Each structure stands twice: as structure tokens, then as C-alpha cells.
Structure 1
Amino acid sequence: MSDVRHVLVLPDRDAAEEVVEALAERFGVREEPLVVRDALAGEDDAEDAQWLVVLRDEEGRLEAGVLDEFVGAWEGWREEP
């Protein structure tokens, strides 16, 4: 088994929570992804935070290009971990 992780960056918490739900529905993700608030350097305001959805893909089922398109629906993107 590999330790493949995908990091999806979203503009706000609501989008991150919607993505978590949609991951289970569309891709059958069984393990709950980790949702993390990532404040921009030097910013304390929640408006300036990005939200990360980190999911493990030990079986290598999720393709990077498909995830890029998927998260784009929420104005997000996939980062290389």
C-alpha cells in the first residue's frame, strides 16, 4: 500500500464541507477526509483563509486530472502534497 494523499484547496469552509460530501457520493471515498483551515501568512481574518481537504488514496483510485476538474466546480484546485 502506498501513502498517496491529495490536497484540495477551497476558498471557504462551506465549499470544503460540500466537497467532503460530494467526494463520498461521486468517488465512494470511505475514509473521512481531513478539513483544515489554512490562514494566509500574516493574516488573522477568517476571510483571508483557505480551506484544505486532505484525503488519502492508498489504492490510487483517484486521478489527478479528474480531481482538478471536480474541485474546480467550487472554485478550488488540487495541490501537489
Structure 2
Amino acid sequence: MRHLLVFPERDSAEEAAETAAEWFPSLGAPTVVREWLAGEDDAEDAQWVVVLDDPGAVLGPGDLDRLDALAEEGEGWREPG
């Protein structure tokens, strides 16, 4: 399972990645990447995505709620990958 936390700002994404790494050390370090929205040509429309790989699906509903709240703090959202 892969979870994506999507943010409008790089700083928010990097802070969320650090927090997620602290909360879930068994998942390893999340990756922060820049993702352009389909059909968007302007670099300002790019989103910052924190990629959390959870191959064993160890994150439960409570953990996902924490990730949702973390994303919302940075004006973002969580998507399953």
C-alpha cells in the first residue's frame, strides 16, 4: 500500500515527511516529490507529494486519521497511491 500526502507548498511537505518518519519509523523515510497536475503548464500549479510506502499495510485506521490530520495542517490531503 502506498499513501500520498499532497501539499501546495514544499515546506509543508518536508515538515510532514519529517513528522511521518518520526511517527512510523518502520516504514522508512518518506520521499518528497514534485508532481504537476494533469493539463497544467504552469510550474506554480505543481503540488508537493509525500510518498509513504507501507508494503505490509501496517498502518491502521487510527494511523490514517493521523496522516489525514497531518495533511490538513499543511493545507493538503491524503490519497491512497
Fold shared per TM-score above 0.5:
yes
How many residues are paired up?
Answer: 78
Report if aligned partners of 1:12, 1:49 keep a CA contact under 8 Å in 2. no
Q: Which amino acid aligns with 1:8?
A: L
Report if aligned partners of 2:27, 2:54 keep a CA contact under 8 Å in 1. no
2-side partners of 1:33 and 1:59: how far apart?
15
Asked if 1:28 corresponds to 2:15, the answer is no
Instruction: Classify the secondary structure of the residue corresponding to 1:75.
Output: coil
> Shift in Å at residue 56 of structure 1?
0.8
Instruction: Classify the secondary structure of the residue corresponding to 1:8.
Output: strand
In structure 1, the partner of 2:78 is 78
> Shift in Å at residue 44 of structure 1?
3.3
Unaligned runs of 5+ in 2: none
Report if aligned partners of 1:23, 1:29 keep a CA contact under 8 Å in 2. no
> Shift in Å at residue 33 of structure 1?
1.6
- Which aligned runs of 4 or more in structure 1 are off by greater than 4 angstroms? none
- Report the TM-score, using the length of structure 1 for normalisation: 0.76
In structure 1, the partner of 2:44 is 47
Q: Aligned Cα RMSD in Å? A: 1.9
Unaligned runs of 5+ in 1: none
> Shift in Å at residue 29 of structure 1?
4.9
Q: Percent identity?
A: 54
In structure 2, the partner of 1:69 is 69
- Report the TM-score, using the length of structure 2 for normalisation: 0.76
Q: Which amino acid aligns with 2:38?
A: A
1-side partners of 2:13 and 2:26: how far apart?
15
